[in-house]
Amino acid sequence: DRTEWVLAALPLGGYVRMLDERDPECLPIAPADLPRAFNRQSVYKRIAIVLAGPVANLLLAVAVYWVLSVVGVFEPAAVVGTPPQASAAAKAGLLAGDTVTDVAGNPVRSWNELRWLLLQRAVTTDPIELEVEGSDKRRRALTIQADPVSSEDLDGDLVGRLGFVLFSGPTRIGQVTEGSPAFQSGLQTGDRIVSANGEPLGSASRLRALIRESAERPIEFGVERDAAESKVARIPLQITPARITEGEKTFGRIGAELSDRLPPIKVQYGPLESIPRAVQKTADTAVFSLKMLGKMLTGEASWKNLSGPVTIADYAGQTARIGLAAFLGFLALVSISLAVLNLLPIPMLDGGHLLYYLIEIIKGSPPADWVVEWGQRAGVALLGLLTVLALYNDLLRLLPDFFE
């Protein structure tokens, strides 16, 4: 059908080039091929052709979100930790151990779903209606009233600013290596470490730091272990971390996996139920991207949020190391961002072409050649500026000390 297509290794470098009488490289065009020329198609057909790229990006995102929803992904439960005392969540009565089950009428099953629903509402000052289930299984309705968002807030963690932090419980023991100090002391999988050397433990990270600093020095642990008839036994254990040397570094290790997070839950939906969920997630992400772009244009958000190919490649690598689900979710996000970017009314982009076609429909004829020419120049200049800014932000993230 005289159509050339390419499968590219990178998802960011595709393009379409049409047969067009206005393109010097297409000339001369055989008379038999003139009806195929892009500039000779009806304005509505040209609109459909130009929209094909962004629509394909959005459909790819829908497909990815649908697959992830049907296959299911493991995510942290929507259980919150202790909110900072002066935060909006604390003022509303949110308590450590509460499980958020609903945000503004949207059911919540995981921490990631909770963060996304809160993030969309954190950029406004509208009250956020929550339903939570306490550790005592009693349900409560809460209203979060956030303070106005500043440009500095938009550059940080908006959800954390509201006071939502992931729950951290007692440090639980995972796999215990046979023959290790932990194994020899009697530590078992499922045990909960509640104190070390008589001091309560705040997090698993604090315990890891203590172990690393205590090579060949005994540590007195307070351990809780589930016993018969739903009882809990309190067991004192002394463990002496082994001395480990790696290169020039020496540290302690007990040979047990430590975690203060709740076991992840599998979030999975049926094939039919996943369709509207995937469409809604794609639409919400696109709208949120537009809102953030608008806030950058008005100065409410910093242009430092703009990322270039270096950062995108770096994030792609990071998500790939985390797992396939994280990598696919990141690709869906990039695909949506490309669709939104291409639909902006900037000459040289698909949105710029759509703007010209809208003018053509309204006035009955295409814009004057000089309007198109100057629009193209302005579009090239603007895209060049955005590219330089994005690359600068990339370098700023990779080499922060160099730019200080």
**Token code pair at residue 307:** 């990322």
For 296-302, which contacts have Cβ atoms below 8 Å and span 24 or more sequence positions?
299/151, 300/149, 300/151, 300/154, 301/151, 301/154, 301/155, 302/151, 302/154, 302/155
First CA to last CA distance, the chain: 56
**Token code pair at residue 267:** 């979030």
**Token code pair at residue 194:** 């509640």
Q: List, in sequence order, every beta strand (DSSP E) within 71-229.
A: 73-75, 99-103, 106-107, 128-133, 139-144, 171-176, 192-196, 199-200, 219-226
What was the pLDDT predicted at 366? Answer: 85
Is residue 184 within 8 A of residue 236, CB to CB? The reply is no
Angstrom distance (rounded) from CA 283 to CA 153: 24
Residue 34, amino acid: L
User: Which residue has tokens 């639909």?
Assistant: 343
For the chain, list residues with pLDDT below 50.
Answer: 1, 402-403
What was the pLDDT predicted at 1? Answer: 44
What was the pLDDT predicted at 376? Answer: 83
The values of phi and psi at residue 127, to 5°, are: -65, 145
What was the pLDDT predicted at 214? Answer: 92
What was the pLDDT predicted at 139? Answer: 94
Q: Considering only the top CATH level, what class is 168-261?
A: mainly beta
The DSSP H or E segment spanning 237 is strand 232-239
What one-character DSSP code corresponds to residue 33? G
- Please list the residue range(s) of the chain that carry CATH number 2.30.42.10: 168-261
Residue 259, amino acid: S
Angstrom distance (rounded) from CA 203 to CA 199: 12
pLDDT digits (tens, 9 = 90+) for 125-166: 789 999 999 988 899 999 998 776 665 655 567 788 888 988
What was the pLDDT predicted at 316? Answer: 61
Angstrom distance (rounded) from CA 165 to CA 393: 28
Q: In degrees, to the nearest 5, what angle opens at C-alpha 388 toward C-alphas 384 and 392? A: 170
| Residues belonging to the chain | 404
SS (H, E, C) 70-109: HHCEEECCCEECCCCCCCHHHHHCCCCCCEEEEECCEECC
